[in-house]
């Protein structure tokens, strides 16, 4: 087969399909989309997008192992199991770590630009901060197997001196169009919209730490269009490499997010606090906010979309439109 100039693994997924759309807007269509469509509705994310070919992940992996992929200019490696609740650590090691090692090795041998998705989940409970400096990376301790699988590849790349030739993006809490298929891993924006439609209220987890009141747990919320802009920046700047945070640098509360969804829907806020499942309490992040100094020093100057503006665009231009609703 003739490999496309750009390969996007996870290309039918949330960030991946938005990235393919971003490439299309640049007039780039010589793209190989790699994914595992399964039996859910993820295939709909590819509708209307332009790409040269599609391969199921297993078929792509066979060609990769046999070194029969041909050539490519760039690989965006966004394909991974992103479920923070996944407990099969062996599966995560093969899917998220080993596959990444093999694909990165192929890119090194074939001189293809390698841009991969890491995660803010690598920061664990945040007590070691949110610096993406290489000296900090080995000190991080994840709270779940997903974060550990991502951390393991970051460490492999660092240990093998590859962060001077590849790019890893530590995505924080990304939300936006094309996440419908993600089930429980959908953003709270998507979940809140559905809850408000059904019940008129939003349910948020109670806090179990005295320093955080209910609903005031903090996240760094990133509109998916900004995540795509950051990824494309590193395609445009092949001399810029490293492991970098992809976040706004601004921590906002779950209450801020809920109020933004209500405002976008033209409704008065109604929030109810519910118990957090016991098995989640020891693995819950109470505060995340990206340290963006390294990203800015790399030359990325674009502003990030404010939470209220991103939620408004998502709710009014996508979620409401998809449901055929008019926002008052």
pLDDT, mean of each 10-residue run, the chain (328 residues): 79 98 97 92 95 96 94 95 77 91 97 97 93 97 92 98 98 97 94 97 96 96 98 97 98 98 97 93 90 98 98 97 62
Residue of 303, 12, 3, 287 lying closest to 127 (CA atoms): 287
What are the tokens at 321?
């439109």
Tokens standing for residue 95: 């899917």
Same domain, 140 and 208: no
Catalytic positions are 146, 182
Domain presence at residue 204? yes
Instruction: Please tell me the total count of domains within the chain.
Output: 2
User: For the purposes of burial, counting CB atoms within 10 Å of the CB of 87, is it exposed (0-12), middle (13-18) or buried (19 or more)?
Assistant: exposed
* Domain span including residue 236: 6-172+222-246
Do 208 and 127 have their domain in common?
A: no
Give the residues across from 31 on adjacent strands: 6
| Residues 232 and 85 both lie in one domain | yes
Q: What is the CATH number of the domain that holds 283?
A: 3.90.25.10
Q: Please check whether residues 75 and 213 belong to one and the same domain.
A: no
User: Is the residue at 151 inside a domain?
Assistant: yes
- pLDDT score of 280: 87
Residue pair 238/123 in contact (Cβ under 8 Å)? The answer is: no
Does residue 265 lie within any of the structural domains?
Answer: yes
Q: Are residues 65 and 208 in the same domain?
A: no
Residue 300 lies in a domain: no
Of 162, 142, 161, 187, nearest to 77 by C-alpha is 162
Q: Please indicate, yes or no, whether residues 214 and 89 belong to a single structural domain of this protein.
A: no
Which pLDDT belongs to residue 326?
54
Tell whether 325 is covered by a domain: no
Asked, for residue 297, whether it belongs to a domain, the answer is no
Are residues 121 and 53 part of one domain?
Answer: yes
Asked if residue 135 belongs to a domain, the reply is yes
Residue 299 lies in a domain: no
């Amino acid at each position: 087969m003739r490999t496309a100039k750009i390969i996007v693994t996870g290309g039918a997924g949330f960030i991946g399909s938005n990235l393919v759309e971003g490439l299309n807007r640049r007039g780039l269509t010589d793209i190989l989309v790699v994914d595992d469509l399964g039996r859910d509705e993820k295939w709909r994310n590819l509708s209307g997008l332009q790409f040269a070919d599609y391969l199921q992940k297993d078929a792509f992996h066979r060609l990769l192992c046999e070194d029969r992929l041909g050539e490519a200019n760039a690989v965006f490696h966004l394909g991974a199991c992103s479920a923070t609740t996944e407990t099969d650590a062996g599966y995560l090691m093969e899917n998220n770590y080993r596959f990444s090692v093999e694909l990165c090795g192929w890119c090194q041998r074939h001189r293809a630009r390698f841009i991969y998705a890491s995660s803010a989940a690598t920061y664990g409970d945040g007590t070691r901060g949110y610096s993406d400096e290489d000296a900090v990376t080995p000190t991080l301790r994840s709270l779940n197997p997903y974060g550990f699988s991502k951390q393991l590849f970051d460490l492999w790349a660092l240990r093998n001196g590859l962060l001077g030739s590849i790019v890893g993006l530590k995505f924080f809490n990304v939300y936006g169009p094309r996440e419908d298929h993600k089930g429980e891993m959908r953003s709270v924006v998507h979940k809140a919209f559905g809850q408000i439609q059904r019940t008129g209220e939003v349910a948020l987890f109670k806090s179990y730490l005295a320093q955080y009141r209910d609903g005031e747990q903090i996240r760094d919320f990133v509109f998916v269009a900004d995540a795509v802009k950051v990824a494309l920046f590193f395609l445009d700047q092949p001399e810029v490499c490293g492991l970098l945070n992809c976040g706004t640098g601004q921590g906002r509360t779950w209450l801020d997010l809920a109020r933004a969804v209500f405002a976008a829907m033209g409704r008065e806020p109604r929030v109810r606090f519910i118990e957090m499942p016991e098995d989640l309490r020891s693995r819950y992040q109470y505060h995340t906010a990206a340290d963006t100094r390294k990203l800015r020093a790399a030359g990325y100057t674009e502003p990030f979309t404010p939470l209220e503006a991103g939620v408004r665009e998502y709710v009014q231009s996508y979620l409401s439109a998809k449901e055929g609703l008019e926002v008052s």
